[in-house]
Amino acid sequence: MVDLSAIPSMLPSVQMLAVALVFYLGGALAPAYYAQERFRGFGRSLVDRLPYKAPPGMNEEEALQLAVESAAEQSTDEGDDG
């Protein structure tokens, strides 16, 4: 026979289930774009801490300026609907 008296000790408490439900509902009600922006911001904050090394043959300032211009062009290209 299986000892059924051990099952209640393995289950989470009611308070823990309530907290999990609240967090689940909060995540489910948040718009997807909001969550994506939070993840992107988190990624940017991590990448900002990495040291930057310019490509060979380029000055660091020139390389950074080129990267900014390239990112600006990509963001405008993605925004075009036509």
Look at residue 18 in the predicted model and tell me its pLDDT.
93
Predicted confidence (pLDDT) per residue in 10-65, tens digit = 778 889 999 999 999 988 887 888 878 888 888 888 888 888 788 888 888 898 89
Max Cα distance, the chain (Å): 76
Sequence spans of domains, the chain? 1-50, 55-82
How far is the C-alpha of 37 from the C-alpha of 68, rounded, in Å?
A: 19
User: Using an 8 Å Cβ cutoff, are 12 and 19 in contact?
Assistant: no
Q: Looking at the whole model, is its pTM more than 0.75? A: no
